[in-house]
Amino acid sequence: MKFPKITITLLLLLSQVALAQNQNEALASLVKQAIEYSPRVKEQVQLLNTGDYRIKVQESGLKPQISGEVGYTRLDPVAEAVIPIQGFDGKLQFQPHNNYNTAVNASYVIYDWGRFKAGVQKTLLDMQQQRESIESLKQTLAYQVAQLYYSIIYIQKAIVVQQDQVKLVEENGKIISDRLKSGDALDYDLVQVQVRYKNAEIRVVDLQGQLEKQYIFLSALIGSDARKQVPANAELQYNYPIADAQGAISEAVTNNQDIKTALARENALAQDVKISSMTNLPQLAANGAVGIRNGYQPNIDAWRFNTLMGVKLNIPIYTGKRGAYNTQIARINLDAAKQSTEAQKTQINRDIENAFNDIKVATQKRTLAERNVYQAEYGLKLAKARLVNGVSTPLEIQTSETAVQEAKFSLLQYDYQILLAKLEISRLSGVKL
């Protein structure tokens, strides 16, 4: 039964879509596992949770501060006077030698001219900076997983290319062996083929060792065995939604996680400037106490109930310009952070343009490599035919085999270079995997 060409094309297209979807799901699953497992991410999330408690600590400063006090003081000598009153013979003592005091003290900040709110806002900005840092860490981890994932696919395909080379050498070895039996070849030719066959097998072993290393690294990131989680038929394909360098740069301005973290740091440092400039503001507070103590006339040894209430306005007058110096330090740190952010933006723009240039160059090379593969395979076909007919030499076959291998590896490498450049553009543009 014959199928129309359009039906076959549609089936191939659907199979490619299904393969791409399966590959995307596999990568997304690996990224999710890595983020959920990462001890570093968990550590930063735990540290972020302390921000809520820092705010609670600051809020406690606006609540009444109550403390208990129990004290004893021995005084020698004490103030006393002799009163010359008729019928009274003795001294009048104004304070006992043994002084006892128990009290409950309380203080409450009535108004601090905005310093409390500024401190809470600073903590919130610090927490936002930490959130952005966590997102940056997650993004870095995601792209590390993606690079390892595609590296595994690349090495798998490189092994296939090398195994094909082993088969070619083996097939040509059989031809030379047959010619040796008929007296048309030398033992030297057969030995050379056997050496090339072993060398080709050694390269396969080397590639398999590299593949195992990549699996080990990926397994360490996700916290489980990754060997069965990379599809066997996966391709070096990655689609990114950005068409040109200017579009990627525009996306990076708002979505690049490193820039967002840097801007959050600027906001936190700007709040430091504001807090430092508030150092010399006054503070209005109320205080009070209630308790029992001795030392009251007429019986200075008796314990008596007492209270204290008051309001205090603390106005800094001179602190050696400490506040001004701290404010200047905070402004310098803010200016330095802004310059660092601008330098980071410049570097990101440069890296994006370089990545697009890498894609352009690698695409051009890939086009040439495709033609080269076809020509090398055709040349090998002719060389094998000539060898069978006895008009070619083993050296010609060896040269043709090497040309085919190099052409296929070059094509594979250009595909891999294009994919890595696309990944880099996505990372710099802030695309989340």
The CATH number assigned to the domain with range 18-60+113-280+320-429 reads 1.20.1600.10
Distance CA 380, CA 369 (A): 16
N- to C-terminal Cα distance for the chain? Answer: 44
* Mean pLDDT (whole number) for 241-258: 88
Distance CA 334, CA 346 (A): 19
* Mean pLDDT (whole number) for 317-338: 91
Tokens of 248: 């990627």
| Least trusted range by pLDDT, from 175-179, 197-201, 236-240 | 175-179
Q: To 5 degrees, how large is the angle CA 408–CA 414–CA 416?
A: 105
pLDDT of residue 90: 64
Model pLDDT for residues 351-380, shown as the tens digit of each residue: 999 999 999 999 999 999 989 888 888 887
* Mean pLDDT (whole number) for 128-149: 94
The amino acid present at 61, given as its one-letter code, is G
Residue 198: pLDDT band by 50, 70, 90 thresholds?
A: confident
Q: Is the pLDDT of residue 9 over 60?
A: no
Tokens of 111: 């108004």
Q: What is the DSSP string of 122-191?
A: HHHHHHHHHHHHHHHHHHHHHHHHHHHHHHHHHHHHHHHHHHHHHHHHHHHHHHHHHHHHTTSS-HHHHH
* Mean pLDDT (whole number) for 303-307: 92
Domain(s) labelled CATH 2.20.200 in the chain stretch across 65-111+282-315
Distance CA 126, CA 44 (A): 13
Distance CA 32, CA 221 (A): 11
Distance CA 392, CA 412 (A): 30
Distance CA 208, CA 339 (A): 47
* Mean pLDDT (whole number) for 186-209: 79
Give pairs for 54-58: CB < 8 Å, separation 24+. Answer: 54/123, 55/120, 55/123, 55/124, 58/116, 58/119, 58/120, 58/123
Domain(s) labelled CATH 1.20.1600.10 in the chain stretch across 18-60+113-280+320-429
| Least trusted range by pLDDT, from 96-105, 177-186, 362-371, 420-429 | 177-186
Give pairs for 316-319: CB < 8 Å, separation 24+. Answer: 316/279, 316/280, 316/281, 316/282, 319/279, 319/280
Token pair 């030379």 in the structure block, residue: 176
Average pLDDT, the chain: 85
Architecture of domain 65-111+282-315: Single Sheet (2.20)
Answer yes or no: are the C-beta atoms of 382 and 396 closer than 8 Å: no
Model pLDDT for residues 254-300, shown as the tens digit of each residue: 999 999 999 999 999 999 999 999 888 999 999 999 999 998 888 88
Residue 17: pLDDT band by 50, 70, 90 thresholds?
A: very low
Q: Is the pLDDT of residue 323 over 60?
A: yes
Q: What is the DSSP string of 334-369?
A: HHHHHHHHHHHHHHHHHHHHHHHHHHHHHHHHHHHH
Q: Is the pLDDT of residue 14 over 50?
A: no
pLDDT of residue 178: 65
Which of these, 141, 152, 176, 161, lies nearest to 42 by C-alpha position?
141
Q: Is the pLDDT of residue 6 over 80?
A: no
- The number of CA neighbours under 13 Å toward the Cβ of 24 is 12
Axis-axis angle for helices 394-429, 322-388 (nearest 10)? 160
| 179/132: higher pLDDT | 132
Residue 81: pLDDT band by 50, 70, 90 thresholds?
A: confident
CA distances, 433 to each of 128, 146, 177, 233 (Å): 22, 8, 54, 21
Distance CA 122, CA 265 (A): 11
